[in-house]
Amino acid sequence: DTNTMWGGRFSGGPSAIMEKINASIDFDKRFYAQDIAGSKAHCAMLVKQGILTAEDGQSITDGLDKVLAEIEAGDFKFSPALEDIHMNVENRLRELIGDAAGRLHTARSRNDQVATDFRLWVRDAIDRLDDGLQVLQQVLIERAEEQVDTILPGFTHLQAAQPVSFGHHMLAYVEMVGRDRSRLKDARERLNESPLGSAALAGTPYPIDRHHTAELLGFNGPMRNSLDGVSDRDFALEYLSAASICALHLSRLSEELVIWSSAQFGFVRMSDSFSTGSSIMPQKKNPDAAELIRSKIGRVVGDLNSLMMSMKGLPLAYSKDMQEDKEPVFDAADTIELSVAVMTGMIAEMTVNKEKMRESAGWGFTTATDLADWLVRELGMPFRNAHHVTGAIVKLAEDKGCDLSDLSLAEMQTVDAAITDDVFNVLTLEASVASRTSYGGTAPNNVREQIKEARQRFL
Ligand code: ARG
């Protein structure tokens, strides 16, 4: 029965489309466990405070356990007519235990209930992501350890700059992931206050004990303001922000894997398990997994933007707009957790071609800075002059089509007569890398030290 005024172009009646836009059960069933845990804590507190009899409390608790078991066994029938997870659970509880079920919602509203459930869910998501990132760090550190003495070209502008240790390069990502984890930790700390007991928005006249429910649910304490309690979604925004930056890091690493695994670079070979072939070109092995992760950041940042826009301009306290908070967070969590797991697998299984890296590190006069530094150190030249002299020598090599170390001493002396044979000691890639001993620099001995510290800091 469609609406007589405008129903002609609608296939379903108005109540059906209203149900469709209004119901959240299709997605919020994902936090059934948090919903039931929150209800059990609320119920225990009501009994402790004498608001509910011990008998009712017991039957509610037993009933909730039964509901949980049914959902986990896949025996639960979720109904869109009951809108959301909260009403689906409560309705089933009534079917199981009768009228006592109606007492559970005393001194509570769906507004503080959903805020509590969602915090608990995001808290778990933070912990899962942190675990995944730690495993990624472990794999990066292991690969770094095995590749400390592997030399690859370091780039700026994707132009060969100076040779660096591949272990050092891996450790750069360990640092980035370390900041991701520290952002998650910060977010978790701010998240971990309980909105439960804020009720609809103003608190409740019942003598509830919010500290008790907070403690039962592992929160540090209750949120201080009931209006804020039901209307804050900062915790979800912070999670999405941290996930976005993390996705950005994964995207940068993915881009490097794509470049490195091309035939022209050939620095690494992705394992078959993370590559695909081409349906037409038999020679192809494409780094699809890396490309997909490179792209996933779009989804995660989109999720962040989506929730930002939902929350923007909302007056206090609860508005139904806030039901739109869940899907972006679920999507971002699924996306980032999968990306981290796949990245971990790719890094663990890739084959490193040391010879190709080393060979490439020699192209593009990457030890030119070492030559300039030698002129400063050994001849007392001001760095600016040394830069100029080195430039002229590079030009010489370029014109000859050879590397710096292939020039003869006589050729170098045409640019500056004071240059001696000793200069050839600094023109090798190994010498260049080994010389960079400043704190945080790429010298292999530094890198070995950094690996030790990274293990202590992160694993
Ligand atoms: N399904 C709702 C949500 O996700 C639960 C809260 C409903 N509260 C209300 N006042 N309608 O936000």
Q: What is the pLDDT of residue 303?
A: 98
397 preceded by cis ω (within 30°)?
no
Ligand 1 mutation target, pool 34, 105, 111, 324, most atoms within 8 A of CB: 111
Nearest CA to ligand 1 atom 11: 320
Check 15, 79, 182, 278 and give the catalytic one. Answer: 278
CA-to-CA dists, residue 22 to 10, 94, 209, 376, angstroms: 17, 23, 32, 73
Is residue 7 pLDDT above 90, yes or no?
A: no
- Is 139 in a helix, a strand, or coil? helix
Q: Which residues pair with 268 in a beta bridge?
A: 352
Cα 208 to ligand 1 centroid, rounded to whole Å: 22
Is residue 110 pLDDT above 60, yes or no?
A: yes
- Arithmetic mean of pLDDT, 304-321: 98
- Give the position, in ligand 1's atom list, of the atom nearest the Cα of 84: 1
Cα 114 to ligand 1 centroid, rounded to whole Å: 7
Q: How far apart are CA 120 and CA 158, in angstroms?
A: 44
Cα 110 to ligand 1 centroid, rounded to whole Å: 6
Nearest to 122 by CA among 245, 40, 237, 230: 237
Q: How far apart are CA 270 and CA 283, in angstroms?
A: 14
Cα 236 to ligand 1 centroid, rounded to whole Å: 16
First to last CA, the chain: 62
Q: Which residues pair with 351 in a beta bridge?
A: 269
Q: What is the pLDDT of residue 280?
A: 76
Tens digit of pLDDT for each residue in 323-334?
A: 999 999 999 999
Q: What is the pLDDT of residue 403?
A: 86
Tens digit of pLDDT for each residue in 197-207?
A: 999 999 999 99
Is residue 234 pLDDT above 60, yes or no?
A: yes
Nearest CA to ligand 1 atom 1: 84
Cα 306 to ligand 1 centroid, rounded to whole Å: 18
Q: How far apart are CA 270 and CA 110, in angstroms?
A: 49
- Is 49 in a helix, a strand, or coil? coil
CA-to-CA dists, residue 136 to 174, 237, 256, 288, 344, angstroms: 8, 24, 16, 19, 5
Q: Which residues approach ligand 1 with their CB closer than 6 A?
A: 24, 28, 84, 110-111, 114, 318, 320, 322-323
Tens digit of pLDDT for each residue in 24-46?
A: 999 999 999 999 999 999 999 99
Tens digit of pLDDT for each residue in 176-195?
A: 999 999 999 999 999 999 99
Residue 201, judged by CB atoms within 10 A of its CB (0-12, 13-18, 19+), counts as: middle
Residue-wise DSSP of 228-246 = HHHH--HHHHHHHHHHHHH
Q: What is the pLDDT of residue 250?
A: 98
Residue 8, judged by CB atoms within 10 A of its CB (0-12, 13-18, 19+), counts as: exposed
Cα 318 to ligand 1 centroid, rounded to whole Å: 8
- Give the position, in ligand 1's atom list, of the atom nearest the Cα of 85: 1
Q: How far apart are CA 250 and CA 295, in angstroms?
A: 10
- Both tokens of 251, joined, read 């995207």
Residue-wise DSSP of 382-402 = -HHHHHHHHHHHHHHHHHHT-
Q: Is 24 a known active-site residue?
A: no
The one-letter amino acid at 158: L
Nearest CA to ligand 1 atom 7: 110
- Give the position, in ligand 1's atom list, of the atom nearest the Cα of 83: 1
Cα 29 to ligand 1 centroid, rounded to whole Å: 13
Q: How far apart are CA 401 and CA 365, in angstroms?
A: 11
Nearest to 36 by CA among 6, 5, 72, 12: 72
Q: Is 157 a known active-site residue?
A: yes
Q: What is the pLDDT of residue 12?
A: 67
Its ipTM equals: 0.97
Q: What is the pLDDT of residue 224?
A: 98
Tens digit of pLDDT for each residue in 73-99?
A: 999 999 999 999 999 999 999 999 999
Ligand 1 mutation target, pool 18, 19, 84, most atoms within 8 A of CB: 84
Ligand 1 mutation target, pool 105, 116, 320, 329, most atoms within 8 A of CB: 320
Is residue 126 pLDDT above 60, yes or no?
A: yes
* Total Cβ atoms within 10 A of residue 427: 19
Among the ranges given (5-9, 223-227, 357-361, 445-449), the one the predictor scored with the smallest mean pLDDT: 5-9
Nearest to 34 by CA among 191, 268, 189, 207: 191
Nearest CA to ligand 1 atom 10: 111
Q: What is the mean pLDDT of the chain?
A: 95
Q: How far apart are CA 63 and CA 97, in angstroms?
A: 6
- Is 420 in a helix, a strand, or coil? coil
Check 11, 157, 273, 438 and give the catalytic one. Answer: 157
- Arithmetic mean of pLDDT, 57-81: 97
Higher pLDDT, 444 or 275: 444
Q: What is the pLDDT of residue 2?
A: 53
Strands (E), 78-227: 151-156, 159-165
Among the ranges given (176-180, 362-366, 381-385, 428-432), the one the predictor scored with the smallest mean pLDDT: 362-366
Using pLDDT thresholds of 50, 70 and 90, give the confidence band for residue 277.
confident
Nearest CA to ligand 1 atom 4: 323
Nearest CA to ligand 1 atom 2: 323
Angle between helices 444-458 and 166-191 (to 10 degrees): 20
Is residue 279 pLDDT above 90, yes or no?
A: no
Per the CB < 8 A criterion, the answer to whether 415 and 389 are in contact is: yes
pLDDT > 70: percent of the chain: 97
